[in-house]
Structure 1
C-alpha cells in the first residue's frame, strides 16, 4: 500500500483510525490464542504492523489514546505479549463502541510510558462531554510533560466538561491536527512553535498545506507568525477557541490580536487558562431556548390558557388518546405551552431566550443577524422577498428555483426577469445559472436605462442536484455593474456547508464576509480602481462596450458597493432540527436603515402567533451540535457518499446497471478549469483546487445515480424498488436518475445497506433479463434505449405576454397582474392538452393563468402570464410523472381567456 493510502487525510481519517483499532483488537485476539510465536501467520503480523503505521501517523494529533499509547502497544506486540496488547486495544475500542472514546482520568502505567484509560468512577464511563486542547509550541519532552501535567492538574470532577491536552511543535502540525482531529475545540499558541512538520504528510495533504500557507512564513517575525497561524486556524475551523500564552510583549499583542484570540495569558496563569477553556466551550454549548423549554416543563403549573394539550392535560386523562402520550412521551406534552413568560420568550418580539438563541446562531453561521422560522424555508423565502421587494421592482430570478420564490414574487408584485440554468437534457434536469447570463441580464437593463429598477438577484445554492455556485464571484461581478444589488441565496439544502473549510467558502455568509474584508484591503481597492478606469470612457464617463464587461472578471468599487446578502436555510434538511425548522441569515450592511422595519413587518405577516416551541428548541440544539461537532459530521457524510460512488464504479455487476454521474456529466467543460471527475476522491487538495477555481462544483455528499440501463424509470425505481421492497427513502428522481444524499446522520451501516440493496437489485435485473422471451427482451431494449437516449430538450422560459411586460427591450413580467386577472369572472378557461397543442401550433398566443409544476423536476414549467410554446408542450408530453401541480386531469390547463392573437410570422 502506498504511503498516501496509509496516511489518513481529513476525508478518511475517522474511518482509517476506527478500522485500525478494531482490526488490532481482532488480531490481538488471534495472536493471543497462539502459544508458539513462530506459528503466527506472517500475513497477520504484516497487517498488524501496517495498521500500527496508520495509527502512528494519526495518533500524533490526538491526545488520547495518543502516540505514546501506540508506542506501548507496538512494544507489547513486538514482545509477543498479546494479552497485554489486547487489553490496551480493548480499552480504546470500548470507547469507540459507546461513542465516548476517552474516559476521564489518565494514570501512568508502571510498565510503559503510555497512559492507561481509566473511568472517572468505578464501573461507569464519565458522562460529561469531552474535548481536546491543542498546544502549539516546540518544546523538549520534559517541558512538554510538565506543561500537560500542569494543565491537567487544574481539572475538577465538578467541571461541566472534561478535556485532554496534546502538544505539537509546529505551524504545519497544528494545521494538520485541526484538520484530522475534530475533537479539538481549543488551541493554545505559544511563541516558540516552528513552521515545518517533522513528519511526512501524504502528498495530498502536503499539496493542500502548500496552497494554504504563505511560502515565506518561516521568516516572518514572531508576532506576524503568531497572527498568521491564528488566521489559518480560524480559516479552517472558525468555531475553535484560540488562546495566546506568552511572557514577552503581551501588551503589544493585545490590540492586534483581539479579533483572533479569546484571551491572552502569561505562562503562570494556568487556572485562569483552565477556566477559560471550559467557558469557551460552554459558550458554544449554551442553548438558551432549549434550556428555557426544559425548565418550563419541570415547573409545576396550572393551565388556564388556550392550549388543552399543554402539560398533557387533554391527553393523560383521556380514555381514548392515551396512546399519544405513550408514543410521544410526557416531556413533549409538558413542554407545550402558549406562554411567553418565564424565559420562554416570543418569536415575534424576542427579548430573552429566543433572542439569545438567534444571536448564537448568527455567530455560528457567520451572519450579522439570524432569524428562526417554524414553517420551513418556503416561508423564509416569502419573508425576505416581501421585506425587500416593492411592486414594480425588478427581480432577476432563476426560473428553476423553488416554487416558494415564484409565489413570493407574485405576492410582492415584482417585475420578474427569469434567467435559465444550463440544461442537462440527457438527465432531464437543470444545472445552475451561468455568471455570463446574470451579467448579460444586468447589462441589458443598463443599456435600456432601467438598471436602477433592478433590486434583487435570487439563486439556489446549492441546487437540489448538488450544483454549487462560486457565490463570492457572482456577487463580486454583479456588484461591479449594480453596486446596491440585493442577493437572496436559497441554501435550503446547504445549511451544513458552513462547518467545513472547503464547503464554507461557497456559502452566502462566508462569501459576504470575505468580500467585506476585500473591500478594506488597499491592494484590492487599487486593483478595482484600475479596472474601472479601463471599463469607463475617460472622456464621456460612460461604460465601454458590453463585451468588455462580459469578458472581464469584474471587481466592484469598494467605495460604492454595498453588501446586502440574505440566505435562507432548511436546518431540518441537512442539520439537526424538527421538520419545518429553518433560519434566515442576514449580512446586510444597510439593514438597520433600509430594511429592518419592513423585515419585521414581513416576518409578522408570515409567522404564526402560535409557533411550535419544539421546532424552535430543535433549532437551538441543532446549532449547538453544528458548532461542536459539525466539522466531523460533514466530512464524514461526504466521505460516505464517495464510498458508495467508488463501489458502484468498481463492482462488476453494479457498474453494468448503474453509474454515478460525476462533475464531467453535471457541469459543462466551459464552467470548469479543473479536470477531475470526482475531486474529493483524489483528495482534499484536489477538492480545494476545484472549489477555489471552477465556476460550478458538485457537492460530493450527493450522488445522482443513472439507472437508464435497468430499463426502469426514476419514479418507478424510487417507489417500487427502493421504498416498497427495501424501505430506502429518497427525495428526488428524474426520468433516468435517482438522487441519493448522505447527511450528518448517515451511518456506515446505512451505506453498506444501500450498496447491498443495489447489488440485490442488479441481480434481480440479471435474472429478469435471463427469463425474458425474445419479444420481451426487444421491448426491454427499446425501453432502455429511450431512457438512455436524449428526450425533448428542457424548455427555456418562453416569455411573458406583452400586456404583462414593461417594455420590448427587457424581459421582465408582472406575475401578480397576471395572477389576479384570473379572479375576474369569465377571465379563465381550460384547454385539454390536445386542444392547447392545436391552438399553439395554429400560431395563437395562449397565456397560462397559473403555475404548472410537475414533480419531478419540481419547478414551474409555466407561471401566470407566460406564453405557452410548442417546446413546453413537447416536454410536458414526454414527462413520465404522476404529479403535476396546476394541471387538472379532467379539465386540462387553465389559461387566460382572450381572442386568438396571431404571432408574427405564423
Structure 2
C-alpha cells in the first residue's frame, strides 16, 4: 500500500495541523471523471502520490470549469474529496503550500469558485514540475498571505527544505516562516523553506517522505505521537526507525526525560537519513546541553538566534554543494596559459585549427579541450599524490559514503579490485572468493600469487544463473580450515554485493559470524552494482561501510561483551578447545569485541550513480589502516593507476558525490518505485502476464534464507521491505526486475538483440538463456517505464501472433533443456595445495600457459572424447562468458563433462578466452 492508504481517505480522518476544519463533502451530481484511488499493493511512493493527486485535481477541476452541465457540480463522494483528504496529510510534510492551502482549495470548491481553485491548483502543479512558478496567477486568485510564497517561486536559486520539530500554533508557524523570509539575502547562494511538525513521529514521517529536507531543527517542545491519520505501513516504518535507533517506539520516547527524549529523536533521524544535519534550539542551560549533545547535533542555539541558524544552514549546504576538483577544472579552463607539455589536445591546440578533426570540438564542445592538461604540468592536483582539490574531493566522498577513506579510480572497478587485492594479499595467502564473482578478482588473485578457495553459490538451474553463497557454506569452509590447522593462512574473503541479478547479502551478519571464527579476517565487498544503496534508509544498512560502522559501535558496548562471553561458554570446552562444527553452525555467532574490522568496498560509480564510464571508487573502513595497510595500499594504487588520469572522469565523480548528498534519497526512492511499477504492470496486464513472468525472492532465494518471506517486499510497503532487509539472510534489490521469457519461444540473447535493441532501441545489460534483466537507475523516468511497458505489450502481441500462425500439423520445436550449472570442479593435483581443502596455485598454471610449448588447442568434440576416456584435461586460461563476466574455467582447473555440457548450450555471443575456431586452451601433459 502507499504510505498514505485508503484509511487516510475515510470520512472521519482529519488532520490537526494547519487546517481550520476537516475537508468534507460537497453536495452535487455524480461525474464521469476517472478515479484517483490506488489499487492494492501500490508502491510506497509519496512523491508520486502527491504529484498524481495534484495533477488529478487539476484535471478534475478543469472538467468542472469547462465540462458539461452534469460535471458542473460536486457529489458528496466525488474523487476530488478523496484526493483533497489525502493531500491534507501529505502536505504537512512538505514546504511551500501546506495544509492550509489545501483547505483553501477545498473551501473554494465548496463555494463553487472553480476557476479560482483551478488557478491555485495549477500553481502547485507548476512548482512540482519545475520547482519554480511557471504561470503568473491572476490578481483575484492571490491572497495577501500568499505573496511571499509567490516571490519564492520566482526565485531561480537552488532550494532545500528545513524541518522544525516543535508543537506550535498556526500563528507561531507563520512567524517562523516570515522570519526566514526576512533573513533571506540576495547574495545567498541557496534558499530554503520550513516544514514544521509537532511530534517525533511526524519528524520521522517527514524525513521518510520528503527528500527535499536537508536539515532538522529540534526544539524540545515536541510531543511523541502523531495526530495525523497515517497508513499502517508508514506507522510501522516509523516504529522500525525508532527501534533501529535504540528506542522501541514513540511511546517509549514520550516516557523519557526531556534531554533523553531529544537524544532519542536525534538518534532515530540520524539512522534514517544520516546525510541530514541536526540542530538544537533550546532555552535555558544551553551551555550544559552543548557538551552532552555535540555528537548528535551540529550546533546548539538559543531560540532567539535566528540569524546564526540561518547562516549555519546556508553554510552547511554550501559544504555539500562544494565540488573542489570540478571547480578547479572550471578555473583552469577559464585561465589563459601557455602549453609547453606533452598533450597536444590541451586547450584545443591540435583540434581548433585542424582542417580535418574540427568536428571533435563541435561535437564535444570546447570546454572539454580547455579542461585538458598534463598531470605533471602543475596546473591541477595529481591523482597519485593528491594534496589539494583531489584530496578534498576524495575526503568529501568518504563522508558521503560513510567511509574512513575513499579513493577515486579512473579505469573501472576491475582496476579497483586489483588494487585492493595487491594491497592486502601476499603470495600463498588463501583468499576465499565466490567463484561467480567478476573476473577481475580471479585475475587479481593470479597477479598476487594468492591461492583461491572457491565458494559455491547456490545454482538457479531453471534460469541459468547463480544465486549467492549461503552464510552456512562460508562458515563451514572457515571451520574446515581451522580443523586442518590452516586457518592462519586464510587472509581475506571476497563477495559480490549485490550480484548482477540483484541478490543482496547482509554484510553485518556475514562479517560478524566470520570474525567470530577468525578475528583478523579482511573483507572485500564488490559493490560494483550497489553504489546507490548508501542513499536510502533501507538499502543503506546492507552496504559494507554502514555495516562496518554498526559493528564498530556494537563492539564497544557492554551488552556485546556480555553476549560474547556467554556464547563462548557454549562453543568452547573448559580447556579452550572449540566444540564440534555443529555447535558453531547452529548458532548466530558473536565475534570477540577485540576483533579487528578491516573492510573494503569497490564501487562502479558510473554503473548506478552519475559518473562518466570507468569512474569508480574504493571505500575503506579499516581499523588497522595506518599500521597495516596504508603504505602497501599506496604502492598498489600507484601500480595500477595511470599517471595520466582522465580529469573529466574525476570531475564527474566529484559532481556525482555532490548530487547524491543533496538529492540522493529522492533519486533512489524514485528508482525503486519505478521498478516496482514495472513489475506490477507486468503482473497485472492480462497479455503481459501470459507472456512474461516477473521473478521474485521466492524464485531467486531459497526459503530457508528468507525469514520475512514476502515475494516482493517493497510491493507490500516500505515497512515490509524494512523488515525483510533487517532479518532475511538474502534479499533482492527492488530496482532489478528479472523477467522469465520462456513463453516467447526465443532465448534471452535473441530477445535482447533482435527484439528489444534492434526493433525498439531498448538497452539491457544482461540476459540468461530464458531471462532478461531490466534495471532502473537514478536517471530512469516515468516516461521510460511507460515506453518499456508499451514495447513489452507489442512484443507479447507479436509472439502470440506467431504462436497462433504456427501450423499445428507441423512438429513443434523441441526446447533443448539447460544442463545444471557446473560447480567449480577442482584444481588439478599438480596445482592443488592438498587433497583436503579447495585452494590451489592459479598463478603457476597461468604462467605455465604463457609458454607456447605448454599449451595446445583442443576442439570441444575432442575434449569431450578425452573426458569420456577418463582423462582430466586442465584449463590453460580463463574462459569467461560476458556478461555477467565470471569465469567458467580458470587456469589449473580440471575440465569436466558438466562444464562442457554447460558451454555447449551457452547462448552468450561474447566469451573471453575461448576461440570458436581453435577450441579450448589446454595445458599439455
Pairwise TM-score range, normalised by the shorter structure: over 0.9
Matching residue of 2:90: 58
Matching residue of 1:360: 396
2:903 pairs with one of 857, 876, 881: 876
Matching residue of 1:543: 578
1:304 pairs with one of 337, 340, 358: 340
In the alignment, does 2:236 pair up with 1:207?
yes
Partners of 2:377 and 2:193 in 1: how far apart? 40
Does the C-alpha gap of structure 1 residues 253 and 887 become closer, same or farther in structure 2, counting only changes over 3 Å? Answer: same
Matching residue of 1:904: none
State the 1:859 CA deviation. 1.2
SS of residue in 2 equivalent to 1:21: helix
In the alignment, does 2:771 pair up with 1:737?
yes
Is the 8 Å Cα contact of residues 309 and 315 (structure 1) preserved in structure 2? Answer: yes
Matching residue of 2:732: 698
1:316 pairs with one of 347, 352, 366: 352
RMSD (Å) for aligned C-alpha atoms: 2.1
Q: TM-score scaled by structure 2?
A: 0.93
Is the 8 Å Cα contact of residues 109 and 115 (structure 1) preserved in structure 2? Answer: no
In the alignment, does 2:639 pair up with 1:605?
yes
More moved, 370-379 vs 822-831: 822-831
1:519 pairs with one of 555, 562, 573: 555
In the alignment, does 2:865 pair up with 1:842?
no
Partners of 1:136 and 1:546 in 2: how far apart? 52
Unmatched tracts of structure 1, length 5 or more = 899-906
Partners of 1:524 and 1:299 in 2: how far apart? 57
2:124 pairs with one of 76, 89, 92: 92
Partners of 1:719 and 1:95 in 2: how far apart? 40
Is the 8 Å Cα contact of residues 423 and 632 (structure 2) preserved in structure 1? Answer: yes
In the alignment, does 2:139 pair up with 1:70?
no
Matching residue of 2:622: 588
SS of residue in 1 equivalent to 2:52: helix
Summarize the alignment of residues 56-455 of structure 1 with structure 2, pairs less than 5 Å apart: 56-100=88-132, 111=143, 117-119=149-151, 125-213=154-242, 214-215=248-249, 216-339=252-375, 344-455=380-491
In the alignment, does 2:822 pair up with 1:795?
yes
Partners of 2:241 and 2:570 in 1: how far apart? 32
Is the 8 Å Cα contact of residues 218 and 279 (structure 2) preserved in structure 1? Answer: yes
State the 1:677 CA deviation. 0.7
More moved, 244-253 vs 658-667: 244-253
State the 1:102 CA deviation. 10
Does the C-alpha gap of structure 1 residues 576 and 857 become closer, same or farther in structure 2, counting only changes over 3 Å? Answer: closer
More moved, 76-85 vs 25-34: 25-34
Matching residue of 1:885: 912
1:810 pairs with one of 815, 823, 837: 837
Q: C-alpha deviations, 1:492-547, integer Å up to 9, x for none?
A: 00000000000000000000000000001111111011111221111x21111111
Q: C-alpha deviations, 1:394-439, integer Å up to 9, x for none?
A: 0000000000000001000001100110100000000000101100
More moved, 490-499 vs 70-79: 70-79
Q: C-alpha deviations, 1:151-170, integer Å up to 9, x for none?
A: 33211121010001121000
Partners of 1:177 and 1:326 in 2: how far apart? 46
Matching residue of 2:61: 28
Matching residue of 1:721: 755
SS of residue in 2 equivalent to 1:549: helix
More moved, 762-771 vs 811-820: 762-771
State the 1:462 CA deviation. 0.1
Is the 8 Å Cα contact of residues 9 and 684 (structure 1) preserved in structure 2? Answer: no
Unmatched tracts of structure 2, length 5 or more = 10-36, 243-247
Partners of 2:116 and 2:549 in 1: how far apart? 53
Matching residue of 1:903: none
Is the 8 Å Cα contact of residues 346 and 370 (structure 2) preserved in structure 1? Answer: yes
More moved, 750-759 vs 25-34: 25-34
| Count of residue pairs the alignment pairs up | 884
Does the C-alpha gap of structure 1 residues 460 and 411 become closer, same or farther in structure 2, counting only changes over 3 Å? Answer: same
Matching residue of 2:12: none
Partners of 2:377 and 2:120 in 1: how far apart? 53
State the 1:34 CA deviation. 5.4
Is the 8 Å Cα contact of residues 10 and 635 (structure 1) preserved in structure 2? Answer: no
Partners of 1:488 and 1:14 in 2: how far apart? 36
Partners of 1:44 and 1:658 in 2: how far apart? 42
1:678 pairs with one of 712, 720, 726: 712
State the 1:807 CA deviation. 1.7
Does the C-alpha gap of structure 1 residues 838 and 331 become closer, same or farther in structure 2, counting only changes over 3 Å? Answer: same
Does the C-alpha gap of structure 1 residues 459 and 385 become closer, same or farther in structure 2, counting only changes over 3 Å? Answer: same
Matching residue of 2:30: none
SS of residue in 2 equivalent to 1:567: strand
Q: TM-score scaled by structure 1?
A: 0.95
SS of residue in 2 equivalent to 1:593: helix
Partners of 1:542 and 1:151 in 2: how far apart? 67
Partners of 2:823 and 2:476 in 1: how far apart? 16
Q: C-alpha deviations, 1:850-884, integer Å up to 9, x for none?
A: 00112344311110000111111111122223222
Is the 8 Å Cα contact of residues 63 and 71 (structure 2) preserved in structure 1? Answer: no
Matching residue of 1:865: 892
2:590 pairs with one of 555, 561, 573: 555
Does the C-alpha gap of structure 1 residues 299 and 44 become closer, same or farther in structure 2, counting only changes over 3 Å? Answer: farther
Does the C-alpha gap of structure 1 residues 139 and 47 become closer, same or farther in structure 2, counting only changes over 3 Å? Answer: same
State the 1:41 CA deviation. 5.8
Does the C-alpha gap of structure 1 residues 856 and 315 become closer, same or farther in structure 2, counting only changes over 3 Å? Answer: closer
Is the 8 Å Cα contact of residues 573 and 579 (structure 2) preserved in structure 1? Answer: yes
Partners of 2:77 and 2:467 in 1: how far apart? 51
